[in-house]
Amino acid sequence: MMNVRDYIMKNIDSNFEGELPFRIGHKEVKAGYIFTDFNQKAQNVYFLKTGIVQIEILRDEELKILDFFFKDAFFASYSSLLTHLPSDVCIKAITDCTVEIINYQELKMAYSDSLIANKLGRSETEKLYLRRVMREKQLFTQTAQQNYQSLIEQYPEVIQHIPLKDIAKYLGITPESLSRIRKKIMT
């Protein structure tokens, strides 16, 4: 099971030694736990050690699923952290999860003089940015079937853990359309 320090050594700087420039909290939560709720001011960045998390947003008074996060990844209501405005997304554990927690104020203080904190912040923000751009691009240029296939190629575990109605919500289609797509792919 990977933790923040392992992640940094694997993805950010293989030569990193010494103390992390921020404290790490630990938490185990049950499926359904809400990390950041709608209209709540986000305060933490989370690292997902085990489990699956989903990010929901309200659009046209309907609940949409914006993203899923799987183990070995950071997640947060990042716009809320950056702007200090109330979150317009809800972050929910959809399986039992184990997380490490970094307080964002502490991370920001570390940004003032820590190379590794800035490398981590830069690299993770680049990933989030790309994720956003790619998702937008998929929505504009790919069919629902292509989007479904990308999703299950990238995250085969989706099928076992996420209800079909939620996968449909993520793809922006009805559960019936998703069933048709699944039948088509399997035949």
Chain Cα centroid distance, residue 148: 18
- Sorted by sequence, the CB contacts under 8 Å of residue 138 that are 6+ apart come out as 146, 147, 150
Size of the site for its own copies (CB under 8 A): 27
Choose, by CB under 8 A, the member of 133, 159, 164, 185 that binds its own copies: 133
Instruction: Give the residue with the Cβ less far from its own copies, 68 or 78.
Output: 78
Minimum distance from residue 78 beta carbon to its own copies (Å): 7
Least separation in angstroms between residue 162's CB and its own copies is 23
C-alpha neighbours within 13 Å on the C-beta side of residue 29: 22
Residue 18: CB minimum distance to its own copies, A: 15
- Angle value at C-alpha 142, between 141 and 147, nearest 5 degrees: 145
Nearest distance from C-beta of residue 186 to its own copies, angstroms: 30
* Stretch of 23-31, 121-129, 155-163, 173-181 lying at the interface with its own copies (CB under 8 A): 121-129
- Does residue 78 belong to the site contacting its own copies (CB under 8 A)? yes
Asked if residue 74 lies in contact with residue 45, where contact means CB atoms within 8 angstroms, the answer is yes
Q: How far, in Å, CA of 17 to CA of 33, rounded?
A: 34
Cα–Cα dist 124/151, whole Å: 20
- Catalog residues that contact its own copies under the rule CB under 8 A: 59-60, 78-79, 82-83, 88, 111, 113-115, 118-119, 121-122, 125-126, 128-130, 132-134, 136-137, 140-141
